Structure 1
Amino acid sequence: MNIVIFGANGPTGRLLTKQAVAEGHTVTAVTRRPETFPLRHDRLQVMGGDVFDLSSVEQAVAGKDAVLSTLGVPFSRKTITVYSEGIANIMRAMNEHGVRRLVCVTSSAVEPHYDPEGGFVFEKIVQPAITRTIGRTLYDDMRRMETLVKNSNLDWTIVRPSGLFETPTVTRYQVHEGHIKGRFTSRTDLADCMLQQLTHDKYLHKVAAVATVAVQPSMFKLIMKEAFQRRPS
């Protein structure tokens, strides 16, 4: 399949690109800094582009079979628009060029669910602190993005991971519609889940929640890393 990945130079995007090429897809990886992209392959084109620039988005989308978005930015107190404005341009380009399949990432935090097994600290302190304070503007924009996608005429799937962490390979993970019990998702598992959406339609026009069950990271280290790391794009 001939696919384009937006947010390809982020931590999940790089894994997704690597897995997609390994599975035989032809991939266009879109990044604002193509010179920093670490992967090279005969079936990989690294393209400079910005989701805020409709013309570059249209150039990337033209002729593709599917679009995958792993757009991501750090938490900020300032208003965030990259998710909603980015996906709006992506969908405009898809409609213009007749591309139907869209798989994009948001987060389980856009629709938090109480988990009695989460414990007092996580449910009463950690989760509210992230979703209502340091992550508020980010998750607000993810919700705007989800609304735009759900109201589109495209063949979409929204993938919601929980707290993201690193594993060297794909592990054992679960996927459920809407919500899943589980506070963590390996980035390699998230990338694999996204690619699986290209070959079946179980979650077509649905939200797919994904959680890793094989391993669990440190909550404190995860929060610090996600809150303060700078993501390439």
Structure 2
Amino acid sequence: MHIAIFGANGPTGRLVTRRVLDTGHTAAAVTRRPRDFPFTDDRLTVVGADVRDAAAVADVVAGADAVLSSLGVPFSLRPIDTYSVGVENIVAAMHASEVRRLVAVSSTGAHHYPGRVDPPFALRIVEPLITRTIGKSTYDDQRRMEDIVTGSGLDWTVVRPSGLFDLPAPTKYVAGEVDPVGMFTARIDLADYMTRLAADTTTVGKTVVVSTTEQVPTMWQMMRREASRADAKTHY
């Protein structure tokens, strides 16, 4: 398969691109900063394009067999529309080129999961605070994005991870039409699952979650890590 990856230069997108290549596919990694992309491969094309540019998106999507969107925007009190505008352009381009398969990343944070398995006590305190303050604009736009994807008429799957953190290798993660487990998802697990979904017809028209249950940080470890990150950028 030839797979177009949007948000490819973010922490998750880079892992998605690597997993796609490692499983034998070819890839077009789309980023506004192609010179910053960290690796090369004979089966990889790094494309300098802005997901807000409909014409540029159309050029990338043409000829793809599937599209993976891992667009990412840091929390902000300012209005955010990158998810919805970007996916709207992706959907339009896919219709124009008759590309059917779309996998788009959202977040469990944009939705309430009363059946979440083993939620830590800290989540009950922090989640309402984030969703009403610094995360509100992000989650609002993720919900708009999901509406666009689910109404697209494409062969779509929406993937909702929980709080993202880093591990060196995939784990035995929990994924599918299930309630989230705990409150974290390793980026490498999300990348692995997205790569599998590209050719998975059983998840077409479904919203799924992916949860990591091994080697997970505590809430406070996670908050310290995120506070110290120096590369908090918009990933598209």
TM-score computed with the length of structure 1 as normaliser: 0.95
Give, in angstroms, the shift of residue 112 of structure 1.
2.0
Give the match's secondary structure for 1:202.
helix
Do the aligned partners of residues 55 and 178 (structure 1) sit closer, same or farther apart at CA in structure 2, a change above 3 Å counting?
farther
Q: 1:74–1:226: 8 Å Cα contact kept in structure 2?
A: no
Aligned to 1:38: 38
Aligned to 2:8: 8
Aligned to 2:26: 26
Aligned to 1:47: 47
Do the aligned partners of residues 17 and 32 (structure 1) sit closer, same or farther apart at CA in structure 2, a change above 3 Å counting?
same
Counterpart residue identity of residue 43, structure 2: R
Give, in angstroms, the shift of residue 178 of structure 1.
5.6
Aligned to 1:230: 232
Structure 1 gap ranges (5+): none
Give, in angstroms, the shift of residue 203 of structure 1.
1.6
Do the aligned partners of residues 78 and 112 (structure 1) sit closer, same or farther apart at CA in structure 2, a change above 3 Å counting?
same
Mapped to 2, the partners of 1:60 and 1:177 lie a distance apart of 30
Q: 2:117–2:182: 8 Å Cα contact kept in structure 1?
A: no
Do the aligned partners of residues 225 and 140 (structure 1) sit closer, same or farther apart at CA in structure 2, a change above 3 Å counting?
farther
Aligned to 2:119: 118
State how 1:149-228 maps to structure 2 within 5 Å. Answer: 149-177=149-177, 179-226=179-226
Greater mean alpha carbon deviation, residues 75-84 or residues 199-208: 199-208
Do the aligned partners of residues 56 and 226 (structure 1) sit closer, same or farther apart at CA in structure 2, a change above 3 Å counting?
farther
Give the match's secondary structure for 1:147.
helix
Mapped to 1, the partners of 2:36 and 2:117 lie a distance apart of 43
Give, in angstroms, the shift of residue 150 of structure 1.
0.7
Do the aligned partners of residues 187 and 35 (structure 1) sit closer, same or farther apart at CA in structure 2, a change above 3 Å counting?
same
Greater mean alpha carbon deviation, residues 108-117 or residues 136-145: 108-117
TM-score computed with the length of structure 2 as normaliser: 0.93
Structure 2 gap ranges (5+): none
RMSD: 1.5
Residue 94 in structure 1 maps to residue 104 in structure 2: no
Map Cα deviations across residues 171-208 of structure 1 (whole Å, 9 max, x no partner).
Answer: 11011316322211000000011011123222210111
Give the match's secondary structure for 2:168.
coil
Counterpart residue identity of residue 51, structure 2: V
Counterpart residue identity of residue 58, structure 2: E
Mapped to 2, the partners of 1:60 and 1:112 lie a distance apart of 35
Give, in angstroms, the shift of residue 120 of structure 1.
3.8
Q: 1:172–1:212: 8 Å Cα contact kept in structure 2?
A: yes
Aligned to 1:78: 78
Q: 1:83–1:142: 8 Å Cα contact kept in structure 2?
A: yes
Mapped to 2, the partners of 1:173 and 1:121 lie a distance apart of 22
Residue 146 in structure 1 maps to residue 146 in structure 2: yes
Counterpart residue identity of residue 222, structure 1: M
Do the aligned partners of residues 83 and 226 (structure 1) sit closer, same or farther apart at CA in structure 2, a change above 3 Å counting?
farther
Give the match's secondary structure for 2:52.
coil
Give the match's secondary structure for 2:109.
helix
Mapped to 1, the partners of 2:123 and 2:220 lie a distance apart of 10
Map Cα deviations across residues 137-169 of structure 1 (whole Å, 9 max, x no partner).
Answer: 000000000011111110000000001000001
Q: 1:190–1:210: 8 Å Cα contact kept in structure 2?
A: yes
Do the aligned partners of residues 226 and 165 (structure 1) sit closer, same or farther apart at CA in structure 2, a change above 3 Å counting?
same
Q: 1:178–1:206: 8 Å Cα contact kept in structure 2?
A: no
